[in-house]
């Protein structure tokens, strides 16, 4: 196992030099004196609203933080002086006050919708703040949504944004307003309905798909497992044989819509089994071994359910080829699991009670085909019996084919 750990660590270390993580793409920025500079901008597919950018100047990277506007990969950002409600937004910290606290800041905001009314967004951490701007004015109005406490156990929502939008769109159907969530897709949809299509981008792209992309793959592989069990009271200290078994399963993978889809969640259930035995001389006491043999048997059949996250990187800008790294937890559902000691005519069974372990992996994707190496950390086989100390770990080599 130490060899496999070393190989995995070496791949992790060398990856940063072999594969490009973030791409530079064509874009522009506008300086403080209104000069437009067309250049290559590092596209980080930002989750939070960026307040500076990295550009290529010749062969060197340079950080630009004194521009007033920039655009890359179909996203537009502009700097404004805003009154920012710091304790409001889509996921704010709950306070005791209904009213938001405002601070003056110069911030880049992302343009989401452009028309007679424009919608802009500022995101920091997990909170989204939305702003409305009229086409004939440079003044921004923050749409207010805030949760606050009213008593020790009561949380109330201040949905002032609904009243603000009703004032901006007096002809709006009241049900369009009262059912409106404080979200990018909901607000854009009502603006499109009453002000027409988004002039910032094609109508089909007026709201982002926040559901990610779900993929299904079939998997087959080789599971290599080994186990050792120690029980001093039974004079048991055994390392069981390493077994090779076939792994068959399916995998669901969910692409998250940020960082260019490089982070993905996966769920990968498969059937696993480990059958092994060991024969030795058992001890009548600590000094005198018996002439009789004792056989110990392990039978462990389970459904393992790896759940985790992967990070993908394109190889040499060829999107058909990718390398990925995986980290996850592996809950297990035991179908049948016991260790049995046979000595003379006496047979004693001890139930196995594993819960979970962790896994790390590295893999390669080419079009619809994938290959993955995984290392599974030690799994305690006797979580309900402290007399036993066990190690159960292994590696696997998996081939996959993406169905969709």
pLDDT top residue among 201 and 105: 105
Tell me the pLDDT band of 89, cut-offs 50, 70 and 90. Answer: low
User: Which range (323-327, 349-353, 369-373) has the least confidence?
Assistant: 349-353
pLDDT score, position 361: 94
Show the CA angle centred on residue 49, arms to residues 47 and 55, nearest 5°.
95
- The fraction of the chain above a pLDDT of 90, given in percent, is 40
CA gap 291, 282 in Å, rounded: 8
* Of the candidates 19, 27, 25, 48, the residue with the CA atom closest to the CA atom of residue 259: 48
Rounded Cα gap, residues 176 and 179, in angstroms: 6
Distance CA 133, CA 74 (A): 20
CA atoms within 13 A on the CB side of 158: 21
In sequence order, the 6+-apart residues with CB closer than 8 A to the CB of 287 are none
pLDDT in tens, 68-87: 999 998 899 999 998 888 66
Contact 391, 378 (CB under 8 A): yes
Residue 187 backbone phi and psi in degrees, to 5: -70, -40
At residue 205, the pLDDT reads 42
CB contact at 8 A, 117 and 143? no
How far is C-alpha 353 from the chain's CA centre? 29
Residue indicated by tokens 């969530």: 181
The per-residue pLDDT for 76 is 94
Quick count: other Cβ atoms within 10 Å of Cβ 182? 21
H helices of 71-183, in order, are 160-168, 174-178
Question: What is the model's pLDDT at position 253?
Answer: 94
Q: Where is pLDDT greater, at 149 or 13?
A: 149
Q: Name the band, by pLDDT with cuts 50, 70 and 90, for residue 5.
A: low
The pLDDT-based confidence of 139 (bands split at 50, 70, 90) is confident
**What's the average model confidence in pLDDT over 327-350?**
87
Work out the number of other CB atoms within 10 angstroms of the CB of residue 43: 19
| Residue 174, SS3 per DSSP | helix
- For residue 28, give the H/E element and its range: strand 23-30
Going edge to edge, which strands form the sheet with 140-143?
60-64, 53-57, 36-43, 23-30, 69-72, 75-85, 102-113, 117-124, 127-134, 140-143
pTM of the model: 0.59
Contact criterion met (CB below 8 Å) for 372 and 398: yes
pLDDT for position 203: 44
Q: What is the pLDDT of residue 240?
A: 86
Give the model's pLDDT for residue 12: 53
Using pLDDT thresholds of 50, 70 and 90, give the confidence band for residue 333.
Answer: very high
Average pLDDT, the chain: 83
Residues 6 or more apart from 46 whose CB is under 8 A from it?
258
More confident residue, 286 or 26: 26
Of residues 3, 2, 4, 1, the one with CA closest to residue 373: 4
pLDDT digits (tens, 9 = 90+) for 276-305: 887 766 555 555 555 567 788 889 999 999
pLDDT reading at 141 higher than 70? yes
Ordered structural domains, the chain, with CATH: 18-73 (no CATH), 84-210 (no CATH), 213-402 (2.40.160)
Helix (H) or strand (E) holding 250: strand 243-255
pLDDT higher than threshold 60 for residue 6: no
- Tokens read off for 290: 């018996």
pLDDT of 3 strictly over 50: no
Higher pLDDT, 90 or 200: 200
pLDDT above 50 (res 210): no
pLDDT band at 113 (very low <50, low <70, confident <90, very high): very high
Q: Are 284 and 239 in contact (CB under 8 A)?
A: no
Judged against a pLDDT cut of 90, whether residue 238 lies above it is answered with no
Selection from 3-12, 100-109, 372-381 with the highest mean pLDDT: 372-381
Closest CA to 398 of 333, 274, 313, 304: 304
Predicted confidence at residue 208, as pLDDT, reads 44
Distances (CA, A) of 277 to 227, 228, 234, 395: 10, 11, 16, 20
- For residue 343 the two structure tokens come to 């000595």
Q: Return d(Cα 323, Cα 71) in angstroms, integer.
A: 29
Q: State mean pLDDT over 198-208.
A: 54
- The proportion of the chain whose per-residue pLDDT surpasses 70, expressed as a percent, equals 84
Question: Of 122, 275, 143, 114, nearest to 201 (Cα)?
Answer: 114
- Give the tens place of pLDDT for each residue, 263-277: 899 999 999 989 988
Does the pLDDT at position 220 exceed 90?
A: yes
Q: What is the pLDDT of residues 39-58, one digit of tens each?
A: 999 888 788 899 999 998 87
């Amino acid at each position: 196992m130490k060899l496999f750990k070393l190989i995995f660590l070496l791949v992790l270390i060398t990856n940063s030099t072999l594969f490009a993580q973030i791409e530079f793409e064509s874009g522009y920025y506008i300086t403080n004196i209104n000069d437009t500079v067309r250049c290559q901008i590092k596209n980080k597919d930002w989750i939070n609203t960026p307040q500076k950018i990295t550009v290529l100047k010749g062969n060197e990277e340079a950080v630009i933080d004194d521009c007033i506007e920039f655009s890359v990969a179909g996203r537009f950002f502009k700097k404004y002086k805003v009154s920012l409600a710091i304790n409001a937004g889509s996921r704010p910290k709950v306070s005791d006050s209904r009213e938001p606290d405002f601070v003056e800041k110069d911030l880049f905001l992302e343009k989401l919708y452009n028309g007679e009314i424009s919608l802009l967004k500022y995101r920091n951490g997990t909170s989204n703040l939305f702003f409305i701007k009229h086409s004939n004015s440079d003044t921004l109005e923050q749409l207010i949504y805030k949760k606050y406490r009213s008593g020790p156990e009561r949380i109330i929502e201040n949905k002032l944004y609904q009243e603000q939008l009703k004032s901006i769109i007096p002809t709006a159907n009241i049900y369009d307003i009262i059912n409106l969530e404080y979200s990018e897709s909901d607000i854009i949809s009502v603006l499109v309905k009453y002000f027409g299509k988004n002039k910032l981008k094609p109508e089909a792209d007026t709201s982002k798909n926040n559901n990610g992309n779900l993929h299904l793959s079939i998997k087959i592989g080789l599971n290599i497992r080994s186990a050792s069990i120690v029980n001093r009271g039974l004079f048991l200290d055994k390392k069981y044989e390493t077994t090779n078994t076939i792994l068959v399963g399916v995998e669901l993978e969910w692409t998250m819509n940020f960082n260019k889809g490089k982070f993905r969640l996966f769920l990968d259930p498969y059937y696993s089994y480990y059958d092994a035995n060991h024969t030795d001389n058992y001890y009548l006491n600590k000094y005198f071994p018996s002439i009789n043999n004792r056989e110990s048997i392990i039978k462990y059949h389970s459904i393992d359910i790896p759940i985790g996250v992967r990070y993908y990187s394109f190889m040499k800008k060829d999107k058909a080829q990718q390398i990925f790294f995986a980290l996850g937890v592996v809950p297990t559902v035991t179908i049948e699991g016991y260790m049995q000691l046979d000595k003379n005519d006496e047979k004693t069974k001890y139930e196995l009670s594993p819960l979970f372990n962790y896994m790390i992996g590295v893999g390669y994707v080419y079009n619809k085909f994938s290959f993955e190496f995984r290392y599974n950390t030690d799994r305690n086989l006797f979580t309900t019996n402290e007399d036993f100390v066990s190690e159960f770990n292994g590696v696997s080599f998996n081939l996959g084919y993406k169905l969709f």
